[in-house]
Structure 1
Amino acid sequence: MTMSTVAMATIRRRSRRRRPPALLIASIVFLVVIVLAAIFAPLIAPMNPNTTDILNASSGPSVEHWLGTDTTGRDILSRLLYGARLSLLAPLAVVILTTIVGAIVGLAAARSGGVVDLVLSRAMDIVFAFPSLLLGLLAVAIFGPGLTAPIIALAIGYIPFLGRIVRTATQQEQARPYIGSHIVMGFSSWWITVRHILPNIVPLLLAQATLAFGYAMLDIAALSYLGLGVQPPAADWGSMIAQSQSAVMQGQLWGMFWPSLAVILTVLSVNVLGEHLTDRTSARGRSLL
């Protein structure tokens, strides 16, 4: 076997290893389709999502209603497309708040050390003891149904999750020799944190935020299913599932099937993407050691 043949075989093996798996590609494609469908819902929805038609209530898929109608005759496809907006935006808001505050808390705890680290770590432990969904229920009980209070409550519940990860990653990063050299050179702690430590932990932070998005979507859907999240006539996938319960007892499953499938596939796709990003981040971390 010639050297060129060996080189080509090695290149092919490396390309196969770098090629993303089919499940990851399918997940990314699905997420792109869902996001585009939510953005362009007014253009592609066949009907007004809130228009009722009692004569066609709980009807099956047809030429006029591709996915059927719900218990009040509203077009399921239209409500599914419009519902994607709130179903995606609410978890995204939770993740953005969690990521910003969690990063600040984790960085402050690791970089300050001492009493500050102790106080922030114990505070995260206390909040971590409360399930995020319970915090969402408490927020609804205090402030009433809607999305604003649950979003803030869920974000608070997720902060310890990301805060701990950022704290650990920061401690590992600041133990590297280049941090010590920058300190000797007289650079401020703030400059080192913003210029070097934060950029190096951003990939890990984004990977964990992606995983948190799936959990947030499930919690928001659960609150909407209980009637404590999105309020009628607005729709998200969780409320659509709840509104179709009565039809299920009559053997009409499509009203619950389609939003349930949308939640399952979206959460699965986000988790696949998040796990891939986590693996990439872990591999990068090992290569730097």
Structure 2
Amino acid sequence: MDVTLRQLSYFAALAEARHFGRAAARANISQPALSLQIKELETQLGVPLVERLPREVRLTRAGHEVLSRAHRILSEVQDLRGAVRRRAGLSGQLHLGVIPTVAPYLLPAALTRLRARDLTLELRVREAQTGTLVAELRAGRLDAALVALPVPDAGLAAHPLFEDRFVLAGSERRIAAWAETVDRLRPTELSPDQLLLLDEGHCLADQALEVCGLSRRGGVDLGASSLSTLCGLVSEGFGLTLLPEIAVLVETASSDRLTLRRFSAPEPARHLALVRRATAGDGEWVEELAELFRAAAAPLLEDARAVCR
């Protein structure tokens, strides 16, 4: 009997879960059935792939090599399925990833447009940080992901979407006090002790540090997990933060105490893109989806620039 895709898929699930029971639950099969498939895979390859410990499993050296190749094989198969599934364009089933600092602001408008375009499209959305989305793209579990550039992976192709500028957000008192001390509002004038950021791992936090020319976080690190939490904190006087334009309408509607100011030109910004595996081919569905996101973002950015001039 030859090695099967099912066996490779079960092995990848086991390598991720590091436990037969959890892996079986994820794969939606019984634990004995999964254990049998892994044993047959080891027999076919002639080497043990995992160390079976009382509370977990660990990959052997051969197991790590097989896992690397299994990910590539499964990714290629997913690309094959996707190419056939979307041969007529943006239709069928789509697995999409979106970073958390974009999802709550852009997805409602974008999904409305997607549904209006094709009610039969089966869409599954994964909201996660960039590192997780890139890993799932490479493993073939996502078809595309909406992230901020640059993406540190040579195996991904990017379709630029739009520029999302940053504005300064805080309480009226704090922003007025800060603006009085500088001739021009530049992010590099901010000190780490007054800048509140998202939890580590969010690309927006890294971008904020970069545009502010900072190499470290401040002494007050509240570890906020969402922009809404940050905006609530700074609106009450707990420091300042950078808010992307795409979030302006939602966050100002949530708090009448949140004050915004634009930076002097050139304004700091992030650049969002739709990324996919380079090996997946340049199907027309990618650009169709990119254009849909651009159209959904345009009125949000226009309204944000009217609110914060």
Q: Is the structural similarity TM-score above 0.5? A: no
Q: Which protein has the bigger strand share? A: 2
Relative to total residues, which structure has the larger helix share, 1 or 2?
1
TM-score, normalising length from structure 2?
A: 0.27
- Please report the TM-score for the alignment, with normalisation by the length of structure 1: 0.28
